[in-house]
Amino acid sequence: YCWRGGMRSNAMATILSSVGWPTGVVKGGYRTWRRDVVAGLDCDEPLLPVHLIDGQTGTGKTALLHALAAQGGQVIDLEGLANHRGSAFGDMGDGTQPAQRLFETETWDQLRRMDLSKPVFVEAESALVGQRRVPRRLWRSMLAAPRIEMHMSLDVRADFLVRTYADIIAEAPRLAAAIGKLKGIQSKETIEAWLALAGQGDFRELARQLMQQHYDPLYARSRKRREDKPETVIEMTGTGEEDFKAAAAQLLA
């Protein structure tokens, strides 16, 4: 792209078209597109028809989002766009996060293609996904959105987390670094106990303790601040593909 949309970008579009590449030229260049992104996202109104996929850590919120998208639901996967799973263990390990502007661009590009008379499903996140800030209009919409709350037993959640975070588990230094990010939030003794579990390879117990002692209390405090009841509760008894397909079908119906 050309910053000003001048002769260079037009010349490149002509050359690429001549050898078979589909091209388009934006009048005004990237700055015009950027103004469109800002106008669409850096505002308070109108709110978007967001429905939050909420639930404690390990309930498969992202998996449900993907199942909804596969069945034709309108989905914004913020963790996918931000290349981060949104917690101390969220680093994907396969590259840096996109720049804030690129994160906003890709978010707006998806939203502008949607039918905003229908629900848009978004996973409940904090205002930051890793180091990327959720755009203002979307964040305000998330704060006001009705919640779909996922329930799942602790044991099933622990097994699911071990599978989901297999990439971090496979790299001992990454796992230790992620646990280390909780220093100052958890006691020194607790951190040492979790590092010991990681060193012993007892990842299921590590997941259980992380949820019981850290993430579940955080979720409980966050839910208390909202003081609203979920519009729908999804009781998950398993974490297989068919389980999430069935839950997605239930919501879309």
The set of catalytic residues is 2
What letter does residue 98 receive in the DSSP assignment?
Answer: P
**Helix H segments across 50-169?**
61-70, 78-82, 100-111, 136-144, 154-164, 166-169
| Strands 128-129 and 120-123, sheet pairing | unpaired
Per the CB < 8 A criterion, the answer to whether 210 and 186 are in contact is no
Q: Which residues contact 158 (CB under 8 A, 6 or more apart)?
A: 58, 204, 205, 207, 208, 211
Structure tokens at 34: 């950027």
Element (H, E) at 12: helix 7-18
Cis before residue 46, ω within 30 degrees of 0? Answer: yes
Query: 3-state DSSP call for residue 43?
Result: coil
